[in-house]
Chain A
């Protein structure tokens, strides 16, 4: 097979610089939000996955739609971790940073490793932009960047020269191509093909030949600049990763979720009704689903979150697969209606894309602080199943799984994701839809009747599930509602013992779902010193940390909870098999609280509430400390 690393140069006479092979690299492209860093990052990602690397990425863009140019608030970044081994996070510290302006430098420099490669657009370091970014002296000149491998490049000027021969370009259009120069340069540095980017440019701008020409030219110019410039003395390569054979694409959590929902609609041969109100970071789910209307996804933009969940309760009563998506503040508004779905026992799915709270908090930043809200944030005893995807691709699987549970058990379900998972982009092995199990949804048209000839909407099967009879079914007319139901008949009842029985039935129905939940599996030794118990997106950092620690010979296992209610049947035994259980969470210890309360097991909490995911090293250090303490005893 042809070596994919081999770049066929236009000019065979160029002497190639030495290439150093690396296991894995983390880079970040940062600039003003108008600088096109997200696009450059995505294209770098594409060329990396085509080379066969495992990749994990994280786009980080400002909350402001159009933050003032050149300010710290307006900095947009795209982080790419590419590797020849399996990876689960976008990486902790940066091996290389590209900063398109002083503000981007200031915001990101603290994440760059000592001796890391720092490419800056020298042209953008003017007295005006420096003062906007809050620099009192030029960091390119004052030696403050001495611990990095600083490579100043006149990107603005070089880009302008590269496209100067193309007629009809306005100066604004010229500047808009700068990101491709930077992409070309970094592509050379890490020995990536330009081919996929060039064909993408051709496709994307097929009606604008001038733009195709300009972007392609400057992309190549950036690449050749790397080849010939003396500041860059070495090139790096990251070999192909060993990955499961199959067809891959890269995907964000939001895209995976939307595709999982559309797939569910096909598996159940039923229309999916998605009613939602825009809220960061969940709005993108609505945007993705609108595109899937042709595949049986009906979308409705409601007037608020209360109306959003109301609309899906109505759609669920009507027999559609009912889904909404929101974030913490929206979920707070939905609480009362979620209780209605609990007592009426109607199937629906609420996706909560968590963000930093309380209140409005930090809308674009991830946190895992809604777990207790989801578990308990309703009046009365109102249990419901909770699932938490561990990676972008897992959003696809768990969207389907959550709907299976909702429909099988006639219950609202919450899928609890976060802003990191929603935006994080990972390679994903594409599933074959025809291999997925279909979803059977039965709407009975006949039913045993009571002695007075009326249908009993609250009769139950062996799983304590009531029949999903929908309007339009002759002879089975019935009423549901928020008032307590008499068992079986569903009539309004204030009978004290009936209420207690109904509370218990609803609780038992949900806890009985445990039999459908896969047994929890552990990575690493099945007993030992430390178990790291993570949930949701913390999986990546926790799993990577534990893998590293195991390589060092430490007795560390890790496991990630995808089912948070009910908890897997074997969890207690697992927890009891280790001397210490460490629970890293992006909150003040909410799962830690639940596990201790439920199993009376002492666990240790590791918390991070910075609106940023854990770094691998943070978990490694905590585990090392615990093990160190064990030896001291």
Chain B
């Protein structure tokens, strides 16, 4: 079936078509609601028949996701969703497979699998909801919890050094890496659409607020007054600038970033660091991933989008080649190289 046929035969879908009819059971005010709403807006616009979507999750608050989407779905076991998605994609390359995971599910118990799914460049879409806390188990620190954070399991402050999900995904050579924030629907939809369109693994970190156990973790990035100084949007080929009046810019100072009010200092936009999401080497993307609040504004948007053959495509190529090279029926293989007849 060609893509063209799909677009003709596929009726126009709406977010409502993706509603499973289940009562959503996240806490009132949970950031997950916004992500669900945005994904439901994006999926119908991709020209993919609804029955070809599969949402696979592990365990955690975020992993309830498949139940709320009227697609095919699997709510699996803790940390293992990437393995199931990998097998499914290898078995059924025709499907659009979305892995929904969290900071605990994806980076703690499932860190190994997430890393390997990414490095293989399996054509799956991974959404990592990062709320810097274990919600479902009621409030223990997670691999992304800030140091010194007091939680149920760290009453005197967490001594774990947190992992930086974007740096981590870059270490695994992800071909598509982006970050978005639960409260920015337009931005999130753009990022999700780009993730969907990328051929290869897509890794999207979504800042998400846990109202119960870690409320306000991203206030710096979502508060109307604070956000202008604390986040900036990455745009391919564009200068990196931010601030209420877009007056501040990112400069390259040796190997570290430097923030300068470039308008005051008399610089031009062209003097600012420009983004290149297609850079083959991940140096710039890594540099950007290291910019963390409060020392720096945090970039959101697409850090990296490069093309590399996917695992599932290469696997199918090898399968095809093996089939082409078959010279005899299976019966002859079963017969073996040496056989004899007993009469």
The verdict on A492 contacting chain B, using a C-beta distance below 8 Å, is yes
Contacts of A302 in B (CB 8 A): 83, 86, 116
Task: Check if A307 sits within 8 Å of B334, measured CB to CB.
Answer: no
Which of A293, A306, A309, A471 is in CB contact (< 8 Å) with B92? Answer: A471
Contacts of B331 in A (CB 8 A): 432-434
Q: Is B72 a contact partner of A314 (Cβ separation < 8 A)?
A: no
A250 to B340: give the CA distance in the assembly, Å. 9
Chain B interface size, as a band, is 35 or more
Chain B CB count within 10 A is highest, among A308, A310, A472, for: A310
Are A479 and B20 interface neighbours, CB within 8 A?
A: yes
Q: Could you say which of B148-156, B252-260, B319-327 contacts chain A?
A: B319-327
CA distance A436 to B339 in the complex (A): 20
User: B203 at interface (Cβ–Cβ under 8 A)?
Assistant: no
Q: Contact check: which of A300, A337, A479 meets B315 at CB < 8 Å?
A: A300
Per the 8 Å Cβ criterion, residues 70-129 of B in contact with A are 70-77, 80, 82-92, 94-95, 112-113, 116
Contact B76 A482 (CB under 8 A): yes
Report B-chain residues with C-beta under 8 Å of the C-beta of A266. 330
Contact B319 A314 (CB under 8 A): no
Q: Which of B72, B318, B340 contacts A478 (CB 8 A)?
A: B72
**Contact between B92 and A472 (Cβ–Cβ < 8 Å)?**
yes
Task: Choose one: B50, B54, B75, B339; the contact of A481 (CB below 8 Å).
Answer: B75
Let me know if A93 is at the binding interface, CB within 8 A: no
Q: Are A313 and B87 in contact (CB under 8 A)?
A: yes
Is B90 a contact of A310 with CB atoms below 8 Å?
Answer: no
Asked whether, in the complex, the Cβ of A471 is within 8 Å of the Cβ of B51, the reply is yes
Residue of A52, A266, A308, A318 contacting most chain B CB atoms (<10 Å): A318
Taken together as a complex, chains A and B put the C-alpha atoms of A386 and B314 apart, in Å, by 35
Q: Is B338 an interface residue (CB 8 A)?
A: yes
Classify chain A: how many residues form its interface, as a range. Answer: 35 or more
Is A472 a contact partner of B95 (Cβ separation < 8 A)?
yes
Quick check: B336 and A251 within 8 Å, CB to CB?
yes
Residue A273 interfacial (CB < 8 Å): yes
Pairwise interchain contact B88-A337, C-beta atoms closer than 8 A = no
In the assembled complex, how far is the CB of residue A363 from the closest CB belonging to chain B, in whole angstroms?
A: 22
CB distance from B5 to the nearest CB of A (A): 14
Pair A247/B340 contact, Cβ less than 8 Å: yes
B83: A residues at CB distance < 8 A: 302, 306-311, 313-314
- Find the B residue at minimum CB distance from A320: B91
A310 and B91: CB pair below 8 A?
Answer: no
- A314 adjacent to B342 (CB under 8 Å): no
Query: Is B343's beta carbon under 8 Å from chain A?
Result: yes
Question: Is the beta-carbon distance between B341 and A248 smaller than 8 angstroms?
Answer: yes
Name the B residues within 8 Å of A472 (CB-CB).
Answer: 51-52, 72, 92, 94-95
Q: With a CB–CB cut-off of 8 A, which chain A residues contact B341? A: 245-248
Over the window 184-216 of chain A, the binary record of Cβ atoms lying under 8 Å from chain B Cβ atoms (1 yes, 0 no) is 000000000000100010000000000000000
CB distance from A153 to the nearest CB of B (A): 28
CA distance A49 to B76 in the complex (A): 50
The reply on A384 being an interface residue by CB < 8 A is: no
On chain B, the residues within 8 Å of A337 by CB distance are 77, 80
Q: Does A123 contact B (CB under 8 A)?
A: no
Q: Is A533 an interface residue (CB 8 A)?
A: no
Q: Judging by beta carbons under 8 Å apart, are A313 and B342 in contact?
A: no
Closest Cβ of chain B: how far from A534's Cβ, in Å?
27
The 23 sampled A-B contact pairs (Cβ below 8 Å) are: A46-B338, A196-B338, A200-B338, A248-B339, A248-B341, A251-B336, A273-B90, A292-B333, A298-B319, A306-B113, A308-B83, A311-B86, A317-B72, A320-B91, A322-B87, A336-B77, A430-B334, A472-B95, A474-B49, A477-B72, A478-B72, A479-B74, A482-B59
Nearest first, the 8 closest Cβ-Cβ pairs linking A and B are: A310-B83, A481-B75, A314-B87, A311-B87, A314-B88, A318-B91, A293-B322, A249-B336
Binding site for B on A (CB under 8 A): 46, 49-50, 52, 196, 200, 243-251, 259, 262-263, 266, 271, 273, 275, 292-296, 298, 300, 302-304, 306-320, 322, 336-337, 339-340, 344, 430-434, 452, 454, 470-483, 491-492
Taking Cβ atoms with an 8 Å cutoff, the residues of B that contact A are: 20-22, 49-52, 54, 56, 59, 66-67, 70-77, 80, 82-92, 94-95, 112-113, 116, 315, 318-319, 322-326, 330-331, 333-336, 338-343
